[in-house]
Structure 1
Amino acid sequence: MTSSAILEELWTIIEDRAAHPVEGSYTTHILTHRKGVDKALEKVGEESVEFIIAIKNKEPKAIASEAADLLYHTLLALKAAEVDPSAVYAELESRRKP
Structure 2
Amino acid sequence: MMNTCVFEELWNVICDRMENPPEKSYVVDILTHRKGIDKALEKVGEESTEFIIAAKNDDYDQKVYEAADLIFHLMLALKGCNVNFSDVIAELERRRN
In the TM superposition, 1:41-80 aligns within 5 A as 41-80=41-80
Alignment partners' CA distance in 2, 1:9 and 1:73: 15
Residue 3 of structure 1, CA deviation: 3.8
SS in 2 for 1:24: coil
Alignment partners' CA distance in 2, 1:68 and 1:87: 20
Q: Write the letter of the residue equivalent to 2:61.
A: K
Q: Write the letter of the residue equivalent to 1:56.
A: K
Is 2:78 the counterpart of 1:93?
A: no
Number of residue equivalences = 96
Alignment partners' CA distance in 2, 1:3 and 1:83: 22
Identity %: 57
Aligned Cα root-mean-square deviation (Å): 1.1
TM-score (norm 1): 0.92
Runs of 4 or more off by more than 3 Å in structure 1? Answer: none
Residue 91 of structure 1, CA deviation: 1.0
